[in-house]
Amino acid sequence: MGAAFSAVYVRDLRLALRRRVEALLPVVFFIVAVSLFPLGVGPEPQTLRQIAAGVVWVSALLASMLSVTSLYAGDHADGSLEQMILSGQSGFVVASAKAAAHWTVTGAPLVLAAPLIGLLMDMSGVALATLVASLLLGTPILSLLGGMGAALTLGLRSAGVLLILLILPLAVPALIFGAGAVSAVDSGLSTSGHFSLLGALLILTGLTAPLATSFALRIALE
Amino acid sequence: MQWSSLSDFLSMRGYGLYVWGSYIVAAALMLLEPWLVQRHRRRALQAAARPATEDQSS
Amino acid sequence: MNRPIRWFTFAAPSRFYRLVDVINPWLWALTVGLALAGLYVGFFIAPTDATQGESYRIIFIHVPAAWMSMVLYLAMAFWAAMGWMLNARMASMLARALAPTGAMFTFLALWTGAFWGKPTWGTWWVWDARLTSELILLFLYLGYIALVASIDDMVRGDKAGAVLAIVGAVNVPIIYFSVRWWNTLHQGATISMTAAPKMAHTMLVAMMLMTFAFWAYAFATVFARAQALALERERDTDWVRDLALARKES
C-alpha cells in the first residue's frame, strides 16, 4: 500500500514539475485575486486588516479548485487512470496519493505565498502566523475535497465550473474555522477551538474523501 | 372574528407587504411547479408516441 | 396464503407509474384540504402576536418550507443510495425527482425568511445560522441538479448523483454546526430566527396543518415528476408505448 502510494505520488509530482509554469498558475491566480480586493474595497488599512483572513482563505479555496481537475484529467485522457483503477489498485490509495500530490504542488505554495499576501493586507504578525497555520491545516482539506469533485466530474464538459459549485458548500466548515481562527486572534480570543476543529475536519476528510473519490472514479470509468 | 373589515385583513395592520409578499410567492411557486411537471409529463408522452427511428440520442 | 410481501414490486417503473395515477388525486385533495384548514386557523383563529404583530403569520409558510427543504434532501440522498446499492433505477429517478421540489422549498424558506426578517430586524437579509445554512443547502441542491444534468449517461448520472447526495447529507450537520459556531463568534448573535414568538396553541396547530399540507404537496409533485422521468427513460418499452398511443387516440 505504501509502495503504491509513493508510486502514484512521485509520478504526479514528476509530471507536474515537467510543466512548471502550469503548476504555478494557481499561486499566481491567488496573488492576483487577493490584490483585487483592495482595488475594489479601498486601500484603508483598517478595512483590509478586517477582511484579510476571509479574502485570503476564499482566494486560496478558489485557486485550489482551479488546478484540481488536472489531477485526473491527464490520466483519464491517456487511459492510465483506467489502468490504475482496474488493475486492482486500491482506489483509496490512488485518491490519497493524488490529493497529496495536489497539495504539494498547489496547496503548499499557497501556504508559502500567504505571508506575502498578509503583508499586502497589512495583517499583524500574530494574525499572519495564525493565518499560515490555518492554511497549513486547511489546504490539504481542500485538496482532498477537490479530488472528490474532480472524480465526480471526470470528462464532463463544464467540469471546472461544475466542480467549484459542488465543492464550495462542502468547504464552508473549513473556511469558517480557518478564517475564524484569525478573527479570534485579532479579538484576543483563544484559537484552540478553531484549530482543534480544523484538525478534526482534516482527519475526517482524510478518512472519507478518498473513499468517496474512489467510488466516484469507478463510477466515472464504468 | 379578529379582523374588523376586509381592508383590515388585506393591510395586515401595516405588515401587508411582508405577509402577502410571502404568501403570493408561495402560492405562485406551488402552482407553477405542478404545472411545469404536468407539462413535462405531457411532453414525455408525446415524445414516446413518435416512432423510435426519429432520434437515436439518449 | 404465505406469499412473501413483494417489497420491490413498485421498483418496476410501470407499476410505480400506475400507483401514482391512483394515489395522486388523493394527495392533491389532501394538500388543498390541509392548506385551507391551516390557512383558516392561521389567519382567523390564531391571534395577533404581541411583539411581531401580524408579520409573524409568515411562519406558517417559512417553517414548513424549511422543514421540507431538509427532509427532501435526506429523502433524495436515501433514494439515490437505494438506487445505487440495489441497482433500482426507479429509486434513482425518485431521487432526481426530489431535487427540484427540495430546491423550491429551500428558496421559499429563504424568501419568506427575508420577508419576515425585514419588518422584524430591519434588513432583508440576516446572516443568522439557520438562514445561512438554508442558503448553503440551496447550493447543495443546485450542485446535485447540475451534476446529474451534466452527465449524459443516465446510469453514471444516477450513481455520481448518489455519491454527491450522500456526501452532502453527511456534511449537512457539519455545515450547520460550523455556521452556528460562526454566527456566535461574530456579533449580531442576538438576531436569530429561532426566536420565534411564544407559540400560542392555535399558532402551532396552523403550522402543523401547513406542514402536512406541504408534505402532501411534495409527495404529489415529486411522484408526478418521477412519472415524467420514467416515461422519458423507459420510452422504448411496451407499457410506455401503449400509454403514449392510447393518449394520442384520445
pLDDT tens digits, residue range C11-26?
899 999 999 999 999 9
Q: How many distinct structural domains can be found in chain A?
A: 1
Q: What is the DSSP letter of C45?
A: I
Q: Is the pLDDT of residue C192 over 80?
A: no
Q: Which residues of chain C have a CB within 8 Å of the CB of A184?
A: 185
> A34 lies in which domain range?
2-221
% of chain C residues with pLDDT over 90: 71
For C:156-175, CB contacts with A below 8 A are 156, 159-160, 163-164, 166-168, 170-171, 174-175
Asked if residue A137 lies in contact with residue A57, where contact means CB atoms within 8 angstroms, the answer is no
> B43 lies in which domain range?
25-50
Q: How many distinct structural domains can be found in chain B?
A: 1
Q: How many distinct structural domains can be found in chain C?
A: 1
Classify the phi-psi angles of B13: left when phi > 0, otherwise alpha if psi is within -120 to 50, otherwise beta: left
> C159 lies in which domain range?
20-235
**Cell representation of residue A41:** 474595497
Q: Does residue C230 sit within a domain? A: yes
Q: pLDDT-derived band of residue A63, with 50, 70 and 90 as boundaries?
A: very high
Q: Which residues of chain C have a CB within 8 Å of the CB of B22?
A: 58, 61-62, 111-112, 115-116
pLDDT tens digits, residue range B2-50?
788 888 888 888 888 999 999 999 999 999 999 999 999 999 999 998 8
Nearest chain C Cα to B30, which residue?
C217
CA distance C132 to A193: 22
Lowest mean pLDDT among A101-105, A113-117, C186-190: C186-190
Q: Does residue B44 sit within a domain? A: yes
Q: Is the CB of residue B14 less than 8 Å away from at least one CB of chain C? A: yes
**Cell representation of residue C205:** 396547530
Identify from A162, A165, A172 which residue to disrupt to test chain C contact, counting C C-beta atoms within 10 A and taking the largest count.
Answer: A172
Q: Do C55 and B15 touch (CB under 8 A)?
A: yes
Q: Which residues of chain C have a CB within 8 Å of the CB of B25?
A: 108, 111-112
The pLDDT, as a whole number, for residue B7 is 85
Asked if residue C203 lies in contact with residue C46, where contact means CB atoms within 8 angstroms, the answer is yes
**DSSP string over A161-178:** HHHHHHHHHHHHHHHHHH
How far from the centroid of its chain's Cα atoms is residue C145's Cα? 14
Q: Is the CB of residue B35 less than 8 Å away from at least one CB of chain C? A: no
Lowest mean pLDDT among A72-76, A197-201, B53-57: B53-57
Mean pLDDT in residue range C195-224: 89
Q: Is the CB of residue C142 less than 8 Å away from at least one CB of chain A? A: yes
Q: Do A165 and C142 touch (CB under 8 A)?
A: yes
Mean pLDDT in residue range C123-131: 87
Asked if residue C227 lies in contact with residue C221, where contact means CB atoms within 8 angstroms, the answer is no
- Of residues A50 and C194, more confidence is placed in A50
**Cell representation of residue C243:** 400509454
Q: Which residues of chain C have a CB within 8 Å of the CB of B18?
A: 55, 58, 115-116, 118-119
pLDDT tens digits, residue range B28-38?
999 999 999 99
Q: Is the CB of residue C58 less than 8 Å away from at least one CB of chain B? A: yes
Q: Which residues of chain C have a CB within 8 Å of the CB of B28?
A: none
**DSSP string over C170-214:** HHHHHHHHHHHHHHHHSS-TT--TT------HHHHHHHHHHHHHH
Q: Is the CB of residue B47 less than 8 Å away from at least one CB of chain C? A: yes
Q: Does residue C13 sit within a domain? A: no
Q: Does residue B37 sit within a domain? A: yes
CA-closest candidate to residue A166, choices C176, C142, C76, C154: C142
- Of residues C246 and A198, more confidence is placed in A198
Q: pLDDT-derived band of residue C5, with 50, 70 and 90 as boundaries?
A: low
Report if pTM > 0.80.
Answer: yes
CA distance A210 to A96: 6
CA-closest candidate to residue C28, choices B40, B23, B35, B26: B35
CA-closest candidate to residue A65, choices A166, A155, A212: A166
Q: Which residues of chain C have a CB within 8 Å of the CB of A201?
A: 174
Q: Do B47 and C58 touch (CB under 8 A)?
A: no
% of chain A residues with pLDDT over 90: 72
Q: Which residues of chain C have a CB within 8 Å of the CB of B34?
A: 220-221, 224
The pLDDT, as a whole number, for residue C190 is 45
Count of other CB atoms within 10 angstroms of residue A47: 15
Q: Is the pLDDT of residue A107 over 50?
A: yes
CA-closest candidate to residue C125, choices B48, A205, C134: C134
The pLDDT, as a whole number, for residue C189 is 44
The pLDDT, as a whole number, for residue A5 is 92
For A:131-160, CB contacts with C below 8 A are 148, 152-153, 156-158
Q: Does residue C178 sit within a domain? A: yes
Indicate the SS3 state at residue A69: coil
Nearest chain C Cα to A170, which residue?
C171
Q: Which residues of chain C have a CB within 8 Å of the CB of B20?
A: none
Q: Does residue C249 sit within a domain? A: no
Q: Do B48 and C228 touch (CB under 8 A)?
A: no
Q: Is the CB of residue C154 less than 8 Å away from at least one CB of chain A? A: no
Count of other CB atoms within 10 angstroms of residue C170: 14
Q: pLDDT-derived band of residue C191, with 50, 70 and 90 as boundaries?
A: very low
Q: Do the interacting molecules here have an ipTM over 0.90? A: yes
**Who's near C250: CB < 8 A, 6+ residues apart?**
none
Q: Do A172 and C136 touch (CB under 8 A)?
A: yes
pLDDT tens digits, residue range C132-190?
999 999 999 999 999 999 999 999 999 999 999 999 999 999 999 999 888 876 654 44
Q: Is the pLDDT of residue C88 over 80?
A: yes
Q: Is the CB of residue A16 less than 8 Å away from at least one CB of chain C? A: no
Nearest chain B Cα to C221, which residue?
B34
Nearest chain C Cα to A151, which residue?
C160
Q: Using CB atoms, which chains have 3+ pairs under 8 A with C? A: A, B
pLDDT tens digits, residue range A120-176?
888 989 999 999 999 999 999 999 999 999 999 999 988 999 999 999 999 999 999
How far from the centroid of its chain's Cα atoms is residue C16's Cα? 20
Q: Do B13 and C54 touch (CB under 8 A)?
A: yes
Q: Do chains B and A touch (3 or more CB pairs under 8 A)?
A: no
Q: Does residue B9 sit within a domain? A: no
Q: Is the CB of residue C178 less than 8 Å away from at least one CB of chain A? A: yes
